[in-house]
Amino acid sequence: MSDSYQVAIAGAGPAGAQCARDLVTRGYDVVVLETESEEAFPAQSDKSTGGTFASMMTSFGVPDDVVMHGTDSVVFESPNEHFVRDQPGFVLEYGDFKQFLVDDGRENGVEYRFDARVRDPIVEGGEVVGIRYNRDTELYADIVIDATGPAATLAKDLGVVDLERQNHAIGIEYLFEGVDLNYPGYADLTDSMMLRLDHTYAPGGYSWIFHTGEDTAKVGVCYIQNESYRQHSSQDRTVNEYLEHWLDTDPRFQDARRVADTQVRGSAHVQPPESMSTDSFIAIGDTVPSVDPVWGEGIYKCMKSGRAAAMTADRCLHGSVDTSAPETAVYDDLWHEEVATRQDRRLMMMRLLYLAPNDRYDQLVRDLNELDRDIVSDINKGNKFEIAKLLYPRDLRYLWKYWRET
């Protein structure tokens, strides 16, 4: 093993592994440091529902053999209404997906070091020159990339990101058998990914059912412990207890059985990034963070973030090497333009959604069912003129709460 590389990446999740894949195909010398042992990887870091769409699979050459189940639609539920949109998607075997990214990178020349717990960046003359990991092992690189997720191990040390606790989302999920996917009075969830806005089960957040084949589904809840959570939480429950409450009161789960060893616990920060790079350093994936604030989709955003970082590193290292802050800041521009377009507007949409009560969710779903499908797409993309069509005079109070919070 060498102690000097062109690019060193901390973290072998989707963002880090994809960044490594892109860089090695461009001919760069890349090393990835991963905390987990090679024997355990990636079971201990299985923190995703694995839900994604065809655009991600196509863009990054992901094979069908890591797909758990293909879906045909997305369902949006409120306490008493539902909206169905045709949208092909995939529920991935997330561990197999991550292993594919690592194996594919290795086959093309990426070096992976497992059992490598990143400690801090090596800084000389005010510039990042490498990574220190485990007790005192050091390696050096022209560019260092932090893909350690919410831990932001290197980025926090450098003051590049400031992840706020009040914007910290937590979630839990299990795989269940015996789920009734077409229960009377509810939407048919066969071959669907369903998201539910309902403060009874996820105050200040959302819950989900992702069909994974036959009578099985991934079922979970997620919320941010902010003002919306405090306003709508009726009981002092943990995230586990909110999930149990849903399982106990939703008839679709009356015969459901939890599949052993399928618990997924995850967290992410949902906030606008301030900075993402500095001299010889870039932060990617959930370190930034990159998760979609409205629907929680993270895989595609993280992969695109890794690709944007690879493009930036290629620019910095090609020809006359220049890894100064103005050059690495190209990544910041790419992130805003291609990874998380209109992120501020989507954050506003999320916060307004979570401030609204359950009866407002029912009205929202009724309105969505009456709109043209193209308008719904524009709303999802953050088109402010189409968003305005969903607002009522009574929504001014939620706007006031939003501005007061922010």
**Which tens digit of pLDDT belongs to each residue from 173-206?**
999 999 999 999 999 999 999 999 999 999 888 9
The pLDDT, as a whole number, for residue 305 is 96
The pLDDT, as a whole number, for residue 401 is 73
Q: What's the mean pLDDT when you consider all of the chain?
A: 89
Query: Given 3.90.1150.10, 3.20.20.70, 3.40.50.150, 3.50.50.60, which CATH number is that of 4-49+95-162+273-339?
Result: 3.50.50.60
Of 88-97, 282-291, 347-356, 357-366, the least confident: 347-356
**Which tens digit of pLDDT belongs to each residue from 310-319?**
999 999 999 8
The pLDDT, as a whole number, for residue 113 is 97
pLDDT (mean) for 391-406: 76
pTM: 0.90
pLDDT (mean) for 25-46: 89
DSSP 335-386: IIIIISTTHHHHHHHHHHHHHS-HHHHHHHHHHHHHS-HHHHHHHHTT-HHH
Is the pLDDT at 170 greater than 90, yes or no? Answer: no
Strand partners for 133: 118, 137
**Which tens digit of pLDDT belongs to each residue from 100-155?**
999 999 999 999 999 999 999 999 998 999 999 998 999 999 999 999 988 899 99
Q: How far apart are alpha carbons 336 and 121 in whole angstroms?
A: 26
Tell me the three state secondary structure of residue 225: coil
Separation of CA 341 from chain center? 15
The dihedral through the CA atoms of 127, 132, 136, 139 has a sign that is: negative
The pLDDT, as a whole number, for residue 135 is 87
pLDDT (mean) for 53-77: 95
**Which tens digit of pLDDT belongs to each residue from 142-166?**
999 999 988 899 999 999 987 765 5
Identify which of 184, 203, 218, 247 has the alpha carbon closest to the alpha carbon of residue 69: 218
Is the pLDDT at 44 greater than 70, yes or no? Answer: no
The pLDDT, as a whole number, for residue 45 is 58
| Residue ranges of domains in the chain | 4-49+95-162+273-339, 166-268, 344-405
pLDDT (mean) for 392-397: 81
Query: Given 3.40.50.300, 4.10.410.60, 3.90.79.10, 3.30.9.10, which CATH number is that of 166-268?
Result: 3.30.9.10
**Which tens digit of pLDDT belongs to each residue from 267-306?**
776 767 778 999 999 999 989 877 776 667 789 999 999 9
Q: How far apart are alpha carbons 346 and 348 in whole angstroms?
A: 5
4-49+95-162+273-339 and 166-268: identical CATH topology: no
